[in-house]
């Protein structure tokens, strides 16, 4: 079961983080340069159909994996419970940030998207991308120590 959960979690991570990296690194600079609101809408609408289910899979499999490692909510939030609990709390913090930034973009920024508000949208995309990379780095830290 753990292998299937990890497979789904990793597939979701490739879609969520990979999609944001493609958006931030290849599409966003062009959109900002050409003030091309239509292209951004086009990408967002297509990506949302895959990205939102991927995020949902991440949340379900992530909570499940965390429960396998520490089967007690009290331990997740106990500051003395050790490094695994710290990583679970970090993942939950990143999830909260993701929901806040995504909701602000979806309900406040995207409905009023225009050439003038494109830079604001750009900052949301950069923030989401950095958070999605932090998700991957935190996830890896359950298995490997960075030793830097």
Region near ligand HEM per CB under 6 A, out of 18-26, 36-44, 52-60, 117-125: 52-60
The C-alpha atoms of residue 126 and residue 110 are separated, in whole angstroms, by 15
DSSP state of 111: G
For residues 90 and 109, is the Cβ–Cβ distance under 8 A? no
81 binds ligand HEM (CB under 6 A): no
Region near ligand HEM per CB under 6 A, out of 24-32, 43-51, 85-93, 119-127: 85-93
The C-alpha atoms of residue 41 and residue 47 are separated, in whole angstroms, by 10
Min dist CB 89 to ligand HEM, Å, is 9
Q: Please list every residue from 88 through 107 that binds ligand HEM, using CB under 6 A.
A: 88, 91-92, 95
Q: How far from 41 is each of 31, 67, 131, 148, CA to CA, in Å? A: 10, 37, 22, 41
47 binds ligand HEM (CB under 6 A): no
For residues 115 and 7, is the Cβ–Cβ distance under 8 A? no
Give the residues lining the site for ligand HEM (CB under 6 A). 6, 9-10, 13, 16-17, 55, 58-59, 62-63, 65-66, 69, 88, 91-92, 95, 132, 135-136, 139-140, 142-143
């Amino acid at each position: 079961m753990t292998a299937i959960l990890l497979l789904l979690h990793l597939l979701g991570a490739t879609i969520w983080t990979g999609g944001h990296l493609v958006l931030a690194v290849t599409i966003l600079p062009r959109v900002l340069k050409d003030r091309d609101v239509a292209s951004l809408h086009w990408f967002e609408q297509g990506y949302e159909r895959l990205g939102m289910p991927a995020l949902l899979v991440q949340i379900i499999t992530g909570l499940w994996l965390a429960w396998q490692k520490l089967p007690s909510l009290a331990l997740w939030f106990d500051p003395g419970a050790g490094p695994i609990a710290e990583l679970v709390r970090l993942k939950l913090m990143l999830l909260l940030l993701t929901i806040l930034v995504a909701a602000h973009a979806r309900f406040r920024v995207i409905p009023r998207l225009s050439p003038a508000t494109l830079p604001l949208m750009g900052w949301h995309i950069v923030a989401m991308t950095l958070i999605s990379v932090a998700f991957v780095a935190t996830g890896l830290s359950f298995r490997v120590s960075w030793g830097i």
